[in-house]
Amino acid sequence: MEMMLSSRFIIACLGLLIIASTALARVELLESNDRGCSFRYIVEAPSTQTQDSVNSDGQILIWPDVGMNTTDRFVQPVRVLFIALPQGTSPLLSVQSMKSEPAGFGLQGRPPEIRADKESPDEIGAKITGSQDWRGFQLARIEIVLQSGSAVNSTILREIQVNIRFSGEAAAPASYERETKTLPSFAVNGINAVRWWKLQRPLRSLDEQIESWPVFDLYKFAVTTQGVYELSANWLLSNGIDLTGQPVAGIKMFGNGGRLLKKLPSQEVDQGLKEISVLIEDENSNGIFEQNDRILFYGEGLKGFDYANDSYLANWAHQSPFSVENVYWLGLEQGASDGLRMNSLAAALGGMPQSTTTGRVYYDNDVFIYDSYFQSQSETGLIWYATTIDPGQFRTLSLQCEDATGGPGKIKVRTRAQQSAYNIEVKIGENSVIPFGNSEVVQAEIPAGILNSGFNAVQIINNSTSRWNHLNYVELEFERRVSAPSGFVELLAPDAASGFFAYTVEDLGSDGYLFDITDPLHPLVRRGNSFADSSNASQRGRYIALRSDKIDKPVFRGVNRIDESLDYRRLRDPSLEVGIIIITYDDWYDALEPMIDFHRNYKEEPLSAVRVKVGDIFDEFGWGNYDPVAIRNFLKYAYENWRGPSGSAEPPSYVLLVGGGDYDYRNLISSADQNWIPPWNELEVCTDDFYVDFNDSGNDLLDMMSGRWPVQTESEVEAIVNKTIQYAITPLYGPWKNTATFVADDEWKNGYCSEFLHTTESESLINQILPDYFTFRKLYEILYPFRTSATTSRKPDATQDLIETINRGTLLVNYKGHGSEHVWTDEQLFVMDRDYALLDNPRLWPLFVAATCTWGGYDRPNTRCFPELLLAHPTNGAVACIAASRFTFVSQNQELSREFYEELFRPGLETRSSLGHALRTVKPLKDRNSLYHVFGNPVLRLATPEFFAYVSEHDDSLQALSLYNLSGYVSKDAEVQVISVASNDRKTLSLDDPQVWSDFQGVVEARVFDSEDSAAYYWCGDTDRAPYYYGLPGNAIFRGLASVVNGSFNVTFRVPRDIQYGGSNAKVSLYFYGKSDSEPDSSDGIGILRPLRIASAAASEVDSLPPEISIWLEAPSFSSGDQVSQTP
């Protein structure tokens, strides 16, 4: 048989340096400089086109690089592009030319479970939809609408040429390039713009930065309601705080008010902990804090009639959705400025007497949450409802109007009606104060004579005959006497009036306390029952009056020590220089210490790391209060200010959130767990992108890369730490590292047969996107029969194959189809409660990528999702999962996975993308991509083999019954191809032959596969329609080991008789591992030889040697009595 010389056989994808990523596919850059750019975008035919089930006259069109905008009725395909702008300029867009054609069908209808972005569709064309700063660069976002029209007719864009001019005077370019890897991957002109970045403003001094937090120990106290609180010397001592004998002047208290933190990144935030004014009752007036002395401070809980005013929950709530406790701090500062004290409130002399004031009461009982698009309970986390009023039914509330005069009042009611069918009536007693309410918020003036002193029955009636109504809240304002029959009263100055007013509080003696709380951080105080104060129309005066027995005590919540030994001194320290921030639940801080060394020594991307206690974030950026926005504010601060001792270091790139959480922030639904690291929930969205997006645009152009370990115990933290380090630093070598498993749902859904995309798109990923060095396992449900019982219809054979494949080892498990938090497919292919215990794959941990809905819904309060358990198992499961937390589009799921893989499988050690980088790069391209999370360490790289095997000589064909010979070598070098940004042309660089790794000693495993074939499948069993043909991998015809000596190897085997004679697409897959004599660490690599021809007839030689057959369990060394796995 002839020997064929082959100087360089290696997988193209291993040696491919892709300069233009999938984000810029089919975009031709025509011109680019610092004055502007122009590009042409050619819209190819959709990769998939199917009948729409929502709009019968519409079609679902899928392009591999196109996202979706949703309107009230339709879904519109939109291509998103970014243009980098020189700093100081603004973009001017013009369309130079455009080609389109009629489609012959209508737009895709919007599925009801997907929220609408806008009212009506846009016309085809291009427009700038905003600009923002991203990691120092200024970027403009461009939307290109590919299809416009109506339900029955539409037009499709085929080609568009766009010109962008940069208006204004550009700043001088920076002295060096930044983001050379990331910026060109999603900005059209990114390869030319890596020096158009903004120089950072000069940092303030270190001391000035840290002054945002006091430099002495602080004691933490929590309150839940409005009132006056005391810290007596004896009570403090009982909590381990001894201030006796200390100068009163050095006592200071702090608190920032407890209002919700601002949601938008651009909104102004407090830069430091604020000192509040207190009243110190020094019995001996000697300036020394002694046994009978006490500190009084005014405190507010995280609720109130006007608590949510001026916040993103204005008119929606009366309390924080995150916590019930507001925090105040006590400290002693020696030898510095005196602490702030309450000034005196004026006596009631000369003021205009006020005998009445405005009383306010509300009913806002948080019981459940709801989303209008699902018409049921949903997972928003922010908006809660009190009760459901069924059609024709009513709810009666009892609201107390203490000491009401019977004068006029106001009422406001907020509800949510099914399908917005509002028809409510509101009664107080027998009086109909709102006869017909036809909107979400209804309000009315209450005539005099209706409200009584004491409890009043407020009745909410749902007069709809077919639609339910959820009650959010009821607000009531009434006229009341200036009195305090219960010992506590809040008083309001006359509304919209200016003047000097006097108040005498009935039922309050001379030992009463009177406070002006118009500025709640700096109250004024007076003893007795009368006072006077000026008020103006622009700021209505607020006051409280109380008896001394109504003074309460806070709850002691611990101490924040200035000298605690941590990876940081204070979080507002600009001298910090890190690549990854690990935010952890406080109790798990020590368990994460191995991750510091791991990141420092991770050769794929060495990074300095810092562990940060989430409690310190809530203290220093939430001022002690539990508010998820504090996490975003901290990361934004670190990104903008942490520049190292030199002041010029790169900002942090990654964040890892260590801790689970759920949308039930206050444990109203369940107290079975807690929010270790809370998620961000809003509407039907649960996303960690909120924490790493530092711009208001919401375009998912993220400033940092994030990942999450949704753990609940320290043992789970330790398990993932160990798995991550073993996977990345000391991997288990073997052919599992080049095995990829693709799982696809079948065409059946709820008894209907139309869902072909799951299989066809899985085939597309294998054939077009993933490197062909993988050995692919195709677990498509279409290949498996139904096993039907009286109550179920399942495909258990598919489940068995999936479990066995995972247990034998696979680098990747990709799923495409329908799913939930616990299940894949209607046929129950992969079920958490049933299958989790069957996994037995120690050290063979795959990456799961699930292009399905809600499988990553880690934020449910009563249950865990499957990825949580896979990640946290100490020996089995997964090393990471990519999954969505909410409902997503079928087409969008596919395109995200396509783009994710193109970014992930970059060639060569120097350019491989991390999980976080790959996901961040594709997120700006599609709506709802923010729902996808990296459950795992975002810095981690997939454990694909690092180096390369080449075949130098081999027989020209495989012939049955004959010996087949090949020889080759291993190398560190790869062939390289480049895709031109301008033309997308693929060019091979002229490189020398890869060099033999001459001191490498190890083992190569050769796996030989028969010629690939195809098979026909008839969708829905309909043989009258054309069949679908899918690829069948060739059967394995040989698997054996050979030694690698000084970098070279030889493989010889006899070809079996049972092969496809005359086939032309056989292949040899090579996997090697071992160690170089000159290097400390072991290594592995991959190679492929394809296509191989198969001879049309068997050889004539006679094989007289019988095979040697050995049988064992697990390994050849197995002995009777040894333990085996569940699938030996």
pLDDT in tens, 389-411: 999 999 999 999 999 999 999 99
Cα 1116 from chain centre: 46
What is the share, in percent, of the chain residues with pLDDT greater than 70? 91
Alpha-carbon span 461 to 508, nearest angstrom:
40
Alpha-carbon span 1054 to 1031, nearest angstrom:
26
What pLDDT shows up at residue 570?
87
One domain for residues 750 and 844: yes
What pLDDT shows up at residue 1103?
63
End position of a domain, from candidates 911, 935, 959: 935
What pLDDT shows up at residue 348?
85
| Closest alpha carbon to 653 in 639, 632, 634 | 639
Tokens linked to 923: 């997120």
User: How many C-beta neighbours within 10 Å does residue 128 have?
Assistant: 16
Identify the bridge partners of residue 535 per DSSP, sorted by sequence position: 499
One domain for residues 224 and 188: no
* Cis peptide, bond prior to residue 1091, ω within 30 of zero: yes
What pLDDT shows up at residue 117?
75
φ, ψ of residue 288 in degrees (nearest 5): -115, 135
Q: What is the average pLDDT across 786-794? A: 78
Indicate the burial class of 376 (C-beta count within 10 angstroms; 0-12, 13-18, 19 or more). exposed
- Please indicate, yes or no, if residue 164 is contained in any of the structural domains: yes
For residue 997, what pLDDT band results from cuts at 50, 70 and 90?
very high
Is the model more confident about 11 or about 100? Answer: 100
Alpha-carbon span 959 to 941, nearest angstrom:
40
What pLDDT shows up at residue 50?
81
Q: What is the average pLDDT across 234-245? A: 96
Alpha-carbon span 382 to 394, nearest angstrom:
25
pLDDT at 210 over 80: no
How many alpha carbons lie under 13 Å from residue 1029 in its C-beta half-sphere?
Answer: 4
Q: What is the average pLDDT across 5-18? A: 31
Indicate the burial class of 392 (C-beta count within 10 angstroms; 0-12, 13-18, 19 or more). exposed
pLDDT at 200 over 60: no
Q: Which of 160-174, 426-440, 1043-1057 has the lowest mean pLDDT?
A: 160-174
Alpha-carbon span 1018 to 1025, nearest angstrom:
7
- Please indicate, yes or no, if residue 275 is contained in any of the structural domains: yes
Specify the 3-state DSSP secondary structure of 1036. Answer: strand
Tokens linked to 626: 């539990």
One domain for residues 671 and 737: no
One domain for residues 343 and 365: no
Q: What is the DSSP letter of 765?
A: I
Indicate the burial class of 506 (C-beta count within 10 angstroms; 0-12, 13-18, 19 or more). middle
CATH number at residue 982: 2.60.40
Q: How many domains does the chain have?
A: 6
What pLDDT shows up at residue 366?
93
Q: What is the average pLDDT across 741-758? A: 87
One domain for residues 45 and 134: yes
- In sequence order, what are the residues at sequence separation of 6 or more whose Cβ sits closer than 8 angstroms to the Cβ of residue 849? 812, 813, 814, 815, 881, 882, 883, 897, 900, 901
User: How many C-beta neighbours within 10 Å does residue 549 have?
Assistant: 9
Going by their DSSP bridges, the two strands 67-70 and 748-749 should be labelled as unpaired
| Closest alpha carbon to 291 in 364, 238, 350, 334 | 238
pLDDT at 532 over 60: yes
What pLDDT shows up at residue 17?
30
Alpha-carbon span 609 to 658, nearest angstrom:
14
Q: Which of 311-320, 471-480, 558-567, 686-695 has the lowest mean pLDDT?
A: 558-567
pLDDT at 898 over 50: yes
pLDDT digits (tens, 9 = 90+) for 636-650: 999 999 989 888 888
What pLDDT shows up at residue 769?
87
- Please indicate, yes or no, if residue 55 is contained in any of the structural domains: yes
The predicted model scores a pTM of 0.88
- Please indicate, yes or no, if residue 510 is contained in any of the structural domains: yes
Considering 32-36, 336-340, 488-492, 679-683, the range whose residues carry the highest mean pLDDT is 488-492
pLDDT at 234 over 90: yes
Tokens linked to 307: 């608590």
Q: Which of 36-40, 273-277, 567-571 has the lowest mean pLDDT?
A: 567-571
Tokens linked to 250: 């050095």
What pLDDT shows up at residue 16?
30
What pLDDT shows up at residue 312?
94
CATH number at residue 103: 2.60.40.3800
pLDDT digits (tens, 9 = 90+) for 352-389: 999 999 999 999 999 988 754 444 445 578 889 999 99
Q: Which residue has the tokens 């790869």?
A: 974
CATH number at residue 438: 2.60.120.260
What pLDDT shows up at residue 673?
78
pLDDT digits (tens, 9 = 90+) for 38-89: 999 999 888 778 888 889 999 988 886 787 888 888 999 998 899 999 988 9
φ, ψ of residue 451 in degrees (nearest 5): -85, 135
For residue 540, what pLDDT band results from cuts at 50, 70 and 90?
very high
For residue 12, what pLDDT band results from cuts at 50, 70 and 90?
very low
pLDDT at 99 over 90: yes
For residue 992, what pLDDT band results from cuts at 50, 70 and 90?
low
One domain for residues 283 and 401: no
pLDDT at 456 over 60: yes
Q: What is the average pLDDT across 483-498? A: 94
User: How many C-beta neighbours within 10 Å does residue 908 have?
Assistant: 17
SS3 content of the chain, % helix, strand, coil (to 5): 15, 35, 50
End position of a domain, from candidates 558, 587, 614: 558
pLDDT at 979 over 70: no
Specify the 3-state DSSP secondary structure of 728. Answer: helix
- Please indicate, yes or no, if residue 1100 is contained in any of the structural domains: no
For residue 212, what pLDDT band results from cuts at 50, 70 and 90?
confident
End position of a domain, from candidates 495, 526, 558: 558
What pLDDT shows up at residue 788?
81
One domain for residues 76 and 100: yes
Considering 141-150, 781-790, 979-988, the range whose residues carry the highest mean pLDDT is 141-150
Alpha-carbon span 306 to 616, nearest angstrom:
28
- Please indicate, yes or no, if residue 809 is contained in any of the structural domains: yes
Tokens linked to 481: 């006497």
| Closest alpha carbon to 544 in 345, 409, 350 | 345
Q: What are the helix (H) ranges across 832-976?
A: 832-835, 866-872, 890-904, 915-922
Specify the 3-state DSSP secondary structure of 751. Answer: coil
Cα 925 from chain centre: 16
Alpha-carbon span 1091 to 240, nearest angstrom:
77
User: How many C-beta neighbours within 10 Å does residue 151 have?
Assistant: 17
What pLDDT shows up at residue 988?
36
What pLDDT shows up at residue 15?
30
One domain for residues 514 and 607: no
One domain for residues 792 and 885: yes
One domain for residues 488 and 477: no
Number of helical H runs and strand E runs in the chain: 13, 71
CATH number at residue 735: 3.40.50.1460
CATH number at residue 597: 3.40.50
When the pLDDT of each residue in the chain is averaged and rounded to a whole number, the result is 88
Q: Which residue has the tokens 């001298």?
A: 575
Q: Which of 133-147, 188-202, 549-563 has the lowest mean pLDDT?
A: 188-202
Alpha-carbon span 846 to 706, nearest angstrom:
20
Identify the bridge partners of residue 1087 per DSSP, sorted by sequence position: 1070
One domain for residues 960 and 1075: yes
For the chain, how many residues are written?
Answer: 1128
Q: Which residue has the tokens 């497919």?
A: 825
CA distances from 741 to 74, 744, 782 (A): 35, 10, 15
Alpha-carbon span 116 to 124, nearest angstrom:
19
For residue 602, what pLDDT band results from cuts at 50, 70 and 90?
very high
- Please indicate, yes or no, if residue 1109 is contained in any of the structural domains: no
CA triplet 629, 634, 640: central angle to 5 degrees?
125
Alpha-carbon span 602 to 366, nearest angstrom:
47
For residue 100, what pLDDT band results from cuts at 50, 70 and 90?
very high
For residue 227, what pLDDT band results from cuts at 50, 70 and 90?
very high
Domain coverage including residue 360: 356-481
pLDDT at 20 over 50: no
- Please indicate, yes or no, if residue 489 is contained in any of the structural domains: yes
pLDDT at 423 over 90: yes
Alpha-carbon span 204 to 835, nearest angstrom:
56
pLDDT at 1094 over 60: yes
Q: Are 1085 and 970 in contact (CB under 8 A)?
A: yes
User: How many C-beta neighbours within 10 Å does residue 16 have?
Assistant: 21
One domain for residues 647 and 782: no
What pLDDT shows up at residue 493?
95
Distance between first and last Cα of the chain = 40
Alpha-carbon span 1018 to 782, nearest angstrom:
9
Element (DSSP H or E) covering residue 595: helix 593-601
Strand ranges, E, within 710-753: 739-744, 748-749, 752-753
CA distances from 19 to 81, 115, 161 (A): 16, 36, 22
Q: Which of 213-217, 708-712, 1069-1073 has the lowest mean pLDDT?
A: 213-217
